[in-house]
Amino acid sequence: MKCKKLLVGALALSMVLSMAACGSSSGEKDAKDGEKTKLYVVNWKDYGSDDADFIAAFEEEYNCEIVNTYMSSEEELLTKLRTSKEGDIDVCLPNCTILPAAINEGLLEQVDTSKLTNFDSMFERFKTQKECFKDDKMYAVPFVWGSTAIAYNTEVIKEAPKSMSALFDKAYAGKIAFRDDYNDAVMSAAIVLGQDPNNPSDLDAIKAKLIEQKALNKTYWKTGDEFSKLFAGKQIDLGLMWSGQAAAMKKDNQPISFVVPEDGAIGWVDNWAIPSGSQNKDLAYAFIDWMISKDFQYNWASKGGPAPVNQAAAEAIDPEYAASAGMDEASLNRLYFMEYRTDEVKNTWNELWTEVKAE
């Protein structure tokens, strides 16, 4: 109840603030020659695109000013897009779970890929990312991707697990940390059962499999930090884990390795999009182009960011690091990317997962 109150308050406040900001900027833009054009970007905090060095370089190159606002969830971004006035946002960062809704509601501009010089250097997989399209028209440009698969302790498990069923294997009973997330749970069980993870055919079988799996866990984890503590304390030997977190733990000299098993794992993609009514479309294109450039993507990924969509950037990364972070092309091709889900599907899956946890 409290959170609801806060959210309503925050929403009202952000609307008031964004209107105030917008009112002053559009007035001043025309009035003063010296005033720089402002590019309004909505993104995640500390997510590469708000890096101070990058912002300075971009502002210098295009004689503009980047104004960052942050989102705390994908749903919040969708609400922002629905409630903001034209021109409030120039660029935003939706992932595939909300993209189709935003496109269908006409909240996004169509993307003209000929304006992006770096578009061609993207992996083929991402040039055709299906959530970005409607009626063969593109509305968003993939930016980075990552995976949720298996991380394991290399001191205990000598050979990399070949299948997601390792997470369901009695041999590791009591040494597994599974994730407390309805989406990851349903998708991983579907992979093990040979169903389509994005459109599972037999939810009862998935539920039974997850209930069976429950007994094998040390615990369910929710935040990356929880997993990391369990792992460092040798309480677990393997678990369902994010590629990025596993890479960060490896950099901390943990005996951890990350693998996207042969039968596949879960993937996600973040995309840049231009909301309808953006007043600075050229600048927005320049921004997106910069974001998918080899230099930017290489620098960020090798500093521990998510995996690049730019093939040249991906190839420039140390292959050993890329493989251990699940960033290599072989891993990429094995992923089932998370798709948009209707509220009804989300509800059904979440209820299934609650039932498993209540068991």
Partner 1 sequence: MKNNKRVMTLPGMAVLFFCAIVPLFIMLAYSFQSDSGTGFTLENYSRFFTKTFYLTLTLRTIVNSLLVTVISLLLSYPLAYIMAKHLKGLKNIVMVLLIIPFFTNQLVRVYSWLIFLQDGGVFERLMNTLGLVDGTMGLLYTRAAVIIGLIHAFFPYMVITIYMALERLDNSLLEASSCLGASKTTTFFRVVLPMSMPGVITGIMIVFVPCLGTFVEPRILGGVNGTVIGTVIEDQFFEIYGWNFGAAIAFILLAMVLVSMAAINRLGRRYEG
- Give the three-state DSSP class for 285: helix
How wide is the angle at C-alpha 130 spanned by C-alphas 200 and 209, nearest 5°? 15
State which of residues 131, 181, 237, 270 lies at the interface with partner 1 (CB under 8 A).
181
Which amino acid, 283?
A: L
Complex with partner 1: residue 180 or 289, whichever CB lies closer: 180
Contact 199, 168 (CB under 8 A): no
- Roughly how many angstroms between the first and final C-alpha of the chain, as a whole number? 26
Q: Which region among 104-112, 194-202, 265-273, 341-349 touches partner 1 (by CB under 8 A)?
A: 341-349
What does the alpha-carbon distance between residue 213 and residue 207 come to, in Å, rounded to a whole number? 10
Give the distance between the most distant pair of CA atoms in the chain.
71
Complex with partner 1: residue 6 or 20, whichever CB lies closer: 6
Site map 227..246 versus partner 1, x via CB under 8 A: --x---x-x-----------
State which of residues 214, 281, 294, 334 lies at the interface with partner 1 (CB under 8 A).
214
Complex with partner 1: residue 29 or 357, whichever CB lies closer: 357
Residue 52 contacts partner 1 per CB under 8 A: no
Site map 262..301 versus partner 1, x via CB under 8 A: ----------------------------------------
Complex with partner 1: residue 33 or 344, whichever CB lies closer: 344
**Pairing assessment for the beta strands 307-308 and 141-153 based on DSSP bridges:** antiparallel
Residue 154 contacts partner 1 per CB under 8 A: no
Residue 212 contacts partner 1 per CB under 8 A: no
- Residue 165 has φ and ψ, to the nearest 5°, of -65, -10
- Give the three-state DSSP class for 118: coil
Q: Indicate the Cα dihedral angle 356, 180, 321, 230, nearest 10°.
A: -110
The beta-strand segments (E) located in the chain are 37-43, 64-70, 91-92, 133-134, 137-138, 141-153, 176-179, 217-221, 238-242, 256-259, 265-272, 307-308, 335-337
Site map 74..93 versus partner 1, x via CB under 8 A: -x------------------
- Minimum CB distance to partner 1, residue 1 (Å): 5
Contact 236, 230 (CB under 8 A): yes
- Minimum CB distance to partner 1, residue 314 (Å): 31
Q: Which region among 38-46, 56-64, 150-158, 212-220 touches partner 1 (by CB under 8 A)?
A: 212-220
- Residue 62 has φ and ψ, to the nearest 5°, of -110, 10
Residue 346 contacts partner 1 per CB under 8 A: yes
What does the alpha-carbon distance between residue 102 and residue 272 come to, in Å, rounded to a whole number? 12
Q: Which region among 136-144, 247-255, 320-328, 350-358 touches partner 1 (by CB under 8 A)?
A: 350-358
- Minimum CB distance to partner 1, residue 220 (Å): 6
Residue 350 contacts partner 1 per CB under 8 A: yes
What does the alpha-carbon distance between residue 263 and residue 244 come to, in Å, rounded to a whole number? 20
Residue 180 contacts partner 1 per CB under 8 A: yes
Residue 170 contacts partner 1 per CB under 8 A: no
State which of residues 65, 169, 226, 295 lies at the interface with partner 1 (CB under 8 A).
226
Which stretches of the chain bind partner 1, using CB under 8 A? Answer: 1, 3-5, 8, 75, 178, 180-182, 214, 217-220, 222, 226, 229, 233, 235, 343, 346-347, 350-351, 354-355, 357-359
